[in-house]
Copies of this chain bind each other. A is one copy, B any other.
């Protein structure tokens, strides 16, 4: 082996954690997974590498620039940059073998070769759910998605949060009624910035788009309307706009709000926000954003919406769907930097067996018993002093230590110490599971 050493390092923009943080990260990931499964979403695991023509079917300029794409042999391939395109490909490819509505989740890494900067990752986890219909998808699913979000953020416990919903038909209908059909994309892009640049600058930018001041003010009063979900719906109805798309959008918003209540989402946890458009071109109905009320500066931590046709690039079958995505790596990284979350333990272990100068046979039997009862157990093999063993358990955050010396061995007993309370009790070997559980 050569004496010249290679510096061990990873590339910027890639998150790699030490064990205590990895344990914390996995806990968040498992919470999200468990809630997804509890609502009946099915697991999916698509390849990281796909053929470039398949992956880039719908991609635009920015995506093309950022993607990790290369050739091996004669094959032009690329690493996935999101989980939506692989889902579209999968559903188109396997439509005949799936049951619709097809509800799937995928929690996987995606890749974007961005210029690394704070909060931007080149490799990051997305946690996606989507519900795909064959030809049609009932509106109740527009409320099922926020019910999942609600359950997740309740369990993740980062304090109060708000699910903001809107409907693209309301926006499209409203602007259509002003005769601004052709400028919708530009207007939505401008509206999207209101949180960042403020109302006056939005008005100025609208004027730059050739929208007269009267219409500009109508648009501004529309998007800054305040009140509860019910009040906003009443406001929308009061506008007296006669536009079919608009009416459809308002009706959907009203129904989805009602369904959300039926799903048990407290009124306090959702709002109608008429400024939400979501940048992506393919959203066509309900759209969502989610903010943590105490950490609004993080922006939306979970976004998505309804789209008319997922699979248009691959098949003639029409597949409407609805979905959301949590950018877990970014969320974790932000919460961790702000010390909103902190590792609780540097070990996955619940019990440390500490044999005190005796043969390992009996201690290993106890370890085996605990593991079979689902309790992660470590044995301290080294013949060190008692205090070393206690120090190790403390440092690793292991909640129970089972001390086994000659007396315990003789009596078939174990002395269990609760490292949190300091309490200590000697029990029969059979009883250790109930003490620790």
A contacts, CB < 8 Å to B? 1-2, 5-11, 14, 16-19, 22-23, 25-26, 34-35, 37-51, 53-54, 57, 68, 70, 72-73, 75, 77, 79, 88-90, 92-94, 97-99, 104, 109, 111, 113, 122-123, 138, 140-141, 151, 259, 262-264, 309, 311-316, 346-349, 360-361, 364-365, 368, 371, 374-378, 381-382, 392, 395-396
With a CB–CB cut-off of 8 A, which chain B residues contact A113? Answer: 72-73
- B368 near A40: Cβ-Cβ < 8 Å: no
- B77 near A42: Cβ-Cβ < 8 Å: no
- A38 near B360: Cβ-Cβ < 8 Å: no
With a CB–CB cut-off of 8 A, which chain B residues contact A57? Answer: 6
- A40 near B377: Cβ-Cβ < 8 Å: yes
With a CB–CB cut-off of 8 A, which chain B residues contact A14? Answer: 47, 49
With a CB–CB cut-off of 8 A, which chain B residues contact A365? Answer: 264
> A5-B315, A48-B111, A72-B113 provided; 20 other pairs, C-beta below 8 A?
A1-B312, A6-B54, A6-B313, A8-B90, A8-B315, A10-B51, A11-B77, A22-B44, A23-B43, A25-B45, A35-B371, A38-B377, A40-B347, A40-B349, A40-B376, A42-B347, A43-B348, A48-B123, A49-B68, A140-B360
Report the bound CA distance from A51 to B9 in whole Å.
8
A-B contact pairs, 6 of them (CB 8 A): A10-B50, A11-B77, A19-B104, A39-B371, A49-B123, A140-B381
- B364 near A93: Cβ-Cβ < 8 Å: no
- B38 near A375: Cβ-Cβ < 8 Å: yes
- B48 near A109: Cβ-Cβ < 8 Å: yes
Report the bound CA distance from A11 to B57 in whole Å.
16
With a CB–CB cut-off of 8 A, which chain B residues contact A360? Answer: 140, 259, 262
Report the bound CA distance from A378 to B102 in whole Å.
12
Report the bound CA distance from A138 to B379 in whole Å.
13
> Contacts A5-B316, A123-B48, A264-B364 hold; do A42 and B70 have CB atoms under 8 A apart?
no
- B381 near A138: Cβ-Cβ < 8 Å: yes
Report the bound CA distance from A376 to B41 in whole Å.
9
- A48 near B45: Cβ-Cβ < 8 Å: no
Report the bound CA distance from A314 to B4 in whole Å.
8
With a CB–CB cut-off of 8 A, which chain B residues contact A79? Answer: 48-49
- B8 near A42: Cβ-Cβ < 8 Å: no
With a CB–CB cut-off of 8 A, which chain B residues contact A382? Answer: 138
Report the bound CA distance from A23 to B41 in whole Å.
11
Q: Which of B42, B111, B349 contacts A19 (CB 8 A)?
A: B42
Q: Which of B22, B47, B375 contacts A42 (CB 8 A)?
A: B22
Closest to A35 in B: B371
Among A40, A51, A88, A396, max chain B CB count under 10 A is at A40
Report the bound CA distance from A90 to B16 in whole Å.
9
Shortest CB-to-CB span from A5 to chain B, Å, is 6
- A38 near B376: Cβ-Cβ < 8 Å: yes
Report the bound CA distance from A2 to B79 in whole Å.
24
With a CB–CB cut-off of 8 A, which chain B residues contact A392? Answer: 99
With a CB–CB cut-off of 8 A, which chain B residues contact A18? Answer: 94, 97-98
With a CB–CB cut-off of 8 A, which chain B residues contact A22? Answer: 42-45
Shortest CB-to-CB span from A378 to chain B, Å, is 4
Closest to A396 in B: B99
Shortest CB-to-CB span from A353 to chain B, Å, is 10
> Contacts A43-B23, A123-B48 hold; do A38 and B75 have CB atoms under 8 A apart?
no
With a CB–CB cut-off of 8 A, which chain B residues contact A48? Answer: 48, 79, 109, 111, 123
Q: Which of B19, B34, B75, B262 contacts A11 (CB 8 A)?
A: B75
Q: Which of B38, B47, B89, B140 contacts A371 (CB 8 A)?
A: B38
With a CB–CB cut-off of 8 A, which chain B residues contact A368? Answer: 263-264
Report the bound CA distance from A47 to B16 in whole Å.
7
Report the bound CA distance from A313 to B113 in whole Å.
28
Report the bound CA distance from A378 to B131 in whole Å.
13
With a CB–CB cut-off of 8 A, which chain B residues contact A94? Answer: 18
Among A23, A49, A77, max chain B CB count under 10 A is at A49
- A314 near B37: Cβ-Cβ < 8 Å: no
